[in-house]
Amino acid sequence: MAGEGQNAVGRVALVWDERAAGYDLGPGHPLAPVRVELTVDLIRRIGLLGNGVDEVLPRVLDEVELLRHHREDFIDTVKRLSWDPTARAEERYGLGPGDTPAFEGMHPASLLICAASVEAARQVWEGEADHAFNPAGGLHHAMPDRAAGFCIYNDPAIAIDWLLEHGAERIAYVDVDVHHGDGVELMFADDPRVLTISLHESGRFLFPGTGRADDIGGPKAPGSAANVPLHPGTPGSVWLGAFDAVVEPLIRAFDADVLVTQLGCDTHASDPLAHLALTTDDMAAIYERLHRLAHETTDGRWVALGGGGYQLVRVVPRAWTLAFAEMVGRRVPVETPMGWREVAVERTGDVPPTAFLEDPVQLSEAMRAQAEHEARASVTALRELLLPLHGVR
């Protein structure tokens, strides 16, 4: 459970604009904006705002900020289909039937999410907040020249770029989504100022099929990427063991100015699109580790973004409320508020859990053994290939 007073916390910002719900890929699409709306509603209802914890609107983002990491022809295509999503599909740009369909208003909606992530970065870098969270962000699969995996523009990369352009010298990016953070890694693979770390279900079993343990960065910046692929069925104890063995020493050795995290919660055992076996208790333990590392390695500068998570009512709001409670140093109540549960049912028809935390997932001995074996193999590979490049023995 999120610890109260564990770290000295000053101001914390929740960066949110109701218009971000306009990032809507259509009826029945897994990335439904209601999951973020219910998260913000839950944060409000349990009293995490106030006393130095504020909701902040994003500032307008100049489109030039986008062009630094997305090709102009791709942005022009997004704009055109934004006005007429029924036009001919542009599958070479990743926009069409399937994962990332075009939708009306997608350019301004995507730009707003990028603006919110940049605002979170600005809040932290300019000292207006110690920590900042954009729950609508974390669209980590978008590529320079195409949309991918529900992601049109890559807001984590744009926020990292903003930090570098405004004086940050080193950024540590940690991605705990069940899917490999491929777009962010690709955009900074040859930049030694950015260390991208991704713990994810192995690409042998899950989109996007990348993120092997021997993928350790580009030729101009070997060691700039760390990947920890995990086997289906991996429980929280094994996931956290891999984090402790690899991520913590890497972050300490890298000595970044800012910690940027993507907090996808599709690692949950019940997520319909993936196969790991974490619980909300495990996620609370992840957030505690990230919070502690921010205070111990980056003077508390922590920018957090949302990401994946497709149990729209049962998992996402609880997980990200736990993350925000950790950021503000407060405990969540034992039960979710009745008024919030009623709104969730009214909005979706799905009945949310009454409790924030959960019992561990029961796994067979064979499945646990396989998960432990794969995690050990990933950790061993990183200890041999990557950690020495950062002076970690």
Known catalytic residues are: 141
Cα separation values, 95 from 67, 106, 188, 206, Å = 18, 11, 24, 20
Strand order in the sheet with 225-230: 53-56, 12-15, 131-134, 302-305, 258-262, 171-175, 194-201, 225-230
Quick check: 243 and 382 in contact, CB under 8 A?
no
Q: What are phi and psi of 116, to 5 degrees?
A: -65, -40
Cα separation values, 177 from 68, 228, 261, Å = 25, 12, 10
Q: How far is CA 34 from the centre of its chain?
A: 17
Q: How far is CA 154 from the centre of its chain?
A: 11
**Alpha-carbon span 265 to 242, nearest angstrom:** 17
What region, left, alpha or beta, does residue 94 occupy, with left being phi > 0 and alpha being psi -120 to 50 degrees? left
Helix residue ranges per DSSP H, the chain:
34-45, 63-67, 72-83, 106-125, 155-165, 182-188, 236-242, 248-254, 280-297, 316-328, 338-348, 365-385
Residue type, 123: Q
Cα separation values, 309 from 37, 177, 204, 383, Å = 13, 8, 20, 30
Per DSSP, the residues of 39-82 read HHHHHHHTT-SSSSEEEEPPPPPPHHHHHTTS-HHHHHHHHHHH
